């Protein structure tokens, strides 16, 4: 490169006509001066090389029909949480992110498995590489990749890792050398094969040697907002877009308040008639399904509750009052009703128990709430009368569903004796 620049022949070698500062230091080892970037070496470096050479090999020995079959398999992988599917298959000239390539790593072995047979071989093809040989190469790569993500290495771990690198490199070169115009004289392959172990010994694990975090930030906060502009007053539009995204992404606050009053009495009945009420509700069309499900949970929870109360006998009269709404100490109303202006309404709340000996999860009963998948809680408030002692309590029923904008509400129950 230095000779090409000095002789003014840089254009012939497709390199920039600029002198490198390090050329002034002939004893400098570039591999010691600069640490490798794991993402560019593996996810968007060596692995895409493997995919490209695999497609070249399949095209040569089987034709375009098998490539189309491979793309269809990539696009029709069964959806799974967190797995991004390449809906159009693997298109060689497109730029994929490191995250997309990691997802392809997870499924590529199943895509190649029984992808073609000897019967699919072109008549003009001289050699034939079985799909099992391909799978073996990919398995070695995935195994090596998993090892590379370890948080710490002992001397034994480094020896094992080096052997995995050597095994994969040999398989990779043996399979794909003839499909590379440079006979696999690739700087990334050289650096991975001969300098990875040395880099770990000098700088520690390569997990931290990646620009993925900064490139993701650059994409989300610079590239995407820029593409959303009309290319006029660019900075002003970008700042407004980023400001809106920031406001939307701020999680809602968790409100905690005590249940003060219960209102809108739905039913008042002896506990012995609860089963009859459940059967009646199941035959009424205007009753919401969540109400019926809530009644089933109410009966089960009451059974457990009364079983634990050793001082309650079967001969005692137990009455139940079921309410549709409750008012909190902050004057907010929470609902559990099938009829609220012609629609069912069940508030999103979780129950936090205080000063009570209950089985909880960090003080929260019956579920937790997170950013993407959360539990939608609805409450039946009831008053339980046992021997003229009033217990104010609540039964919580949950149903899971997906939402991008969950409501973070936590309410505390109160017990009056």
Q: What is the pLDDT of residues 28-70, one digit of tens each?
A: 777 777 778 888 889 989 999 999 999 999 999 998 999 999 9
Q: Out of 193, 228, 249, pick the residue that ends a domain.
A: 249
Q: Has residue 13 been placed in a domain?
A: no
Report DSSP state, residue 8. Answer: T
Report which listed range, 215-219, 332-336, 339-343, is most confident: 215-219
pLDDT at 51: 93
pLDDT at 27: 75
Least confident of 23-37, 222-236, 337-351, 386-400: 386-400
Does the pLDDT at position 379 exceed 70?
Answer: no
Q: At what angle do helices 47-61 and 131-148 cross, to 10 degrees?
A: 180
Name every residue whose Cβ is closer than 8 Å to that of residue 116 and which is 6 or more positions away in sequence: 58, 62, 66, 69, 131
Q: Has residue 15 been placed in a domain?
A: no
Does the pLDDT at position 415 exceed 70?
Answer: no
Does the pLDDT at position 331 exceed 50?
Answer: yes
Q: Are residues 138 and 194 in the same domain?
A: yes
Give the percent of the chain with pLDDT over 90: 25
Q: Are residues 144 and 273 in the same domain?
A: no
pLDDT at 409: 31
Does the pLDDT at position 7 exceed 80?
Answer: yes
User: pLDDT category, 416, cuts 50, 70, 90?
Assistant: very low
pLDDT at 282: 84
Q: Are residues 236 and 297 in the same domain?
A: no
User: pLDDT category, 324, cuts 50, 70, 90?
Assistant: confident
pLDDT at 309: 63
Q: Has residue 400 been placed in a domain?
A: yes
Q: Are residues 151 and 227 in the same domain?
A: no
pLDDT at 368: 27
Q: Are residues 242 and 268 in the same domain?
A: no
Does the pLDDT at position 377 exceed 50?
Answer: no
Residue 338's closest CA among 359, 322, 315, 358?
322
Least confident of 305-314, 346-355, 366-375: 366-375
Q: Are residues 401 and 268 in the same domain?
A: yes
Q: What's the average model confidence in pLDDT over 233-256?
A: 80
Q: What's the average model confidence in pLDDT over 11-27?
A: 75
Tokens coding 225: 């907002």
Return d(Cα 57, Cα 45) in angstroms, integer. Answer: 19
Q: Is pLDDT larger for residue 316 or for residue 118? A: 118
Tokens coding 330: 């902050």
**Which residue segment(s) compose the domain that 238 sits in?**
214-249
Q: Are residues 67 and 194 in the same domain?
A: yes
Q: Has residue 219 been placed in a domain?
A: yes
Least confident of 28-37, 126-135, 142-151, 210-219: 28-37
Q: What's the average model confidence in pLDDT over 379-398?
A: 37
Q: Out of 249, 276, 309, pick the residue that ends a domain.
A: 249
Q: Has residue 16 been placed in a domain?
A: no
Instruction: Specify whether the backbone of 224 is left (phi greater than 0), alpha (psi in -120 to 50) or beta.
Output: alpha
Q: What's the average model confidence in pLDDT over 90-104?
A: 82
Return d(Cα 171, Cα 185) in angstroms, integer. Answer: 15
Report which listed range, 12-16, 88-92, 216-220, 256-260, is most confident: 216-220
Q: What's the average model confidence in pLDDT over 98-110?
A: 90
Q: How many domains does the chain have?
A: 3
Q: Are residues 299 and 356 in the same domain?
A: yes
User: pLDDT category, 358, cuts 50, 70, 90?
Assistant: low
Across all residues in the chain, what is the average pLDDT?
77
Q: Has residue 167 been placed in a domain?
A: yes
For residue 172, how many other CB atoms are within 10 A of its CB? 21
Decide if 112 contacts 130 (C-beta within 8 A).
Answer: no
Task: Supply the DSSP string of 119-156, one letter for each residue.
Answer: GG--TT------HHHHHHHHHHHHHHHHHHT-S---HH
pLDDT at 400: 32
Return d(Cα 382, Cα 107) in angstroms, integer. Answer: 51
Q: Are residues 84 and 163 in the same domain?
A: yes
Q: Is pLDDT larger for residue 90 or for residue 168? A: 168
pLDDT at 18: 78
Q: Are residues 193 and 86 in the same domain?
A: yes
Does the pLDDT at position 158 exceed 90?
Answer: yes
Q: Are residues 279 and 329 in the same domain?
A: yes
User: pLDDT category, 325, cuts 50, 70, 90?
Assistant: confident
Q: Out of 209, 236, 271, pick the residue that ends a domain.
A: 209
Q: What's the average model confidence in pLDDT over 376-404?
A: 35
Q: Has residue 70 been placed in a domain?
A: yes
Decide if 312 contacts 306 (C-beta within 8 A).
Answer: yes
Q: Is pLDDT larger for residue 103 or for residue 382? A: 103
Q: Has residue 6 been placed in a domain?
A: no
pLDDT at 229: 92
């Amino acid at each position: 490169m230095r000779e090409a620049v000095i002789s003014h022949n840089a254009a012939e070698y497709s390199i920039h006509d600029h002198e490198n500062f390090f050329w002034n230091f002939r004893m400098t080892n570039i591999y010691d001066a600069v640490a490798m970037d794991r993402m560019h070496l593996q996810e968007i470096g060596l692995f895409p090389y493997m995919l490209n050479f695999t497609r070249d090999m399949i095209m040569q020995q089987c034709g375009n029909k098998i490539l189309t079959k491979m793309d269809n398999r990539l696009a029709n992988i069964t959806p799974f949480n967190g797995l991004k599917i390449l809906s159009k298959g693997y298109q060689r000239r497109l730029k994929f992110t490191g995250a997309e390539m990691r997802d392809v790593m997870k499924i590529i072995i199943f895509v190649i498995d029984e992808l073609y047979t000897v019967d699919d071989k072109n008549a003009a093809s001289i050699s034939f590489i079985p799909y099992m040989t391909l799978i073996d190469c990919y398995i070695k790569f995935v195994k090596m990749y998993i090892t590379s993500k370890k948080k710490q290495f002992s001397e034994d771990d480094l020896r094992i890792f080096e052997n995995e690198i050597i095994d994969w490199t040999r398989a990779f070169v043996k399979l794909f050398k003839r499909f590379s115009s440079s006979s696999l004289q690739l700087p990334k392959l050289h650096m991975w094969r001969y300098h990875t172990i040395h880099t770990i010994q000098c700088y520690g694990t390569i997990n931290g040697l990646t620009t993925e975090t900064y490139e993701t930030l650059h994409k989300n906060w610079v590239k995407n907002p820029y593409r959303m502009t009309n290319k006029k007053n660019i900075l002003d539009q970008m700042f407004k877009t980023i400001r809106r995204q920031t406001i939307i992404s701020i999680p809602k606050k968790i409100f905690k308040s005590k249940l003060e009053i219960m209102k809108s009495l739905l039913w008042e009945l002896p506990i012995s008639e609860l089963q009859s009420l459940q059967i009646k509700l199941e035959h009424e069309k205007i009753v919401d399904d969540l109400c019926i499900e809530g009644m089933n949970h109410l009966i089960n929870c009451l059974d457990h509750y009364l079983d634990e109360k050793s001082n309650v006998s079967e001969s005692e009269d137990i009455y139940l009052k079921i309410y549709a709404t409750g008012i909190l100490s902050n004057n907010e109303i929470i609902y559990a009703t099938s009829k609220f202006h012609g629609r069912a309404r069940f508030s999103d709340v979780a129950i936090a128990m205080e000063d009570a000996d209950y089985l909880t999860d960090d003080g929260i009963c019956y579920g937790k709430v997170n950013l993407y998948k959360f539990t939608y809680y609805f409450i039946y408030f009831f008053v339980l009368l046992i021997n003229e002692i009033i217990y104010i309590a609540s039964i919580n029923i949950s149903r899971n569903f997906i939402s991008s904008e969950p409501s973070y509400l936590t309410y505390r129950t109160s017990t009056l004796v």
